[in-house]
Amino acid sequence: MPWIEVKWYAGRDKATKAKTMELLTKAMCEAVGCKPEAVSVVFYDIEKYNWGQAGKPYGN
């Protein structure tokens, strides 16, 4: 049972999440030969102030 975790900045709308979920599920099924019912997708919406790279924060 494939489990996909997506960590991204908070603020995306439901339609964007639904389309992303659809495309990720389709790609996983094509890659590993499973049925869509076997794929789980979870989104982690992270505020920019909780995210950084190379020792620098993205948000204020």
Is residue 32 assigned to a domain?
A: yes
Per-residue model confidence (pLDDT) at position 58: 83
The pTM of this model reads: 0.86
Look at residue 7 and tell me if it is in a domain.
Answer: yes
Residue ranges in 1-60 assigned as alpha helix (H): 14-32
What gap in Å lies between CA 39 and CA 60, rounded to an integer?
Answer: 36
Q: What is the CATH number of the domain that holds 25?
A: 3.30.429.10
Question: Mind listing the pLDDT tens digit for each residue in 2-60?
Answer: 999 999 999 999 999 999 999 999 999 999 999 999 999 999 999 998 989 899 988 76
pLDDT at residue 33, rounded to an integer: 97
pLDDT (0 to 100) of residue 10 = 96
For 14, the domain range is: 3-51
Residue 33 lies in a domain: yes
Assigned domain for 57 exists: no
Q: How many domains does the chain have?
A: 1
Asked if the structure places residue 59 within a domain, the reply is no
| Neighbouring residues of 9: CB distance < 8 A, sequence distance ≥ 6 | 45, 46, 47, 48, 51, 58
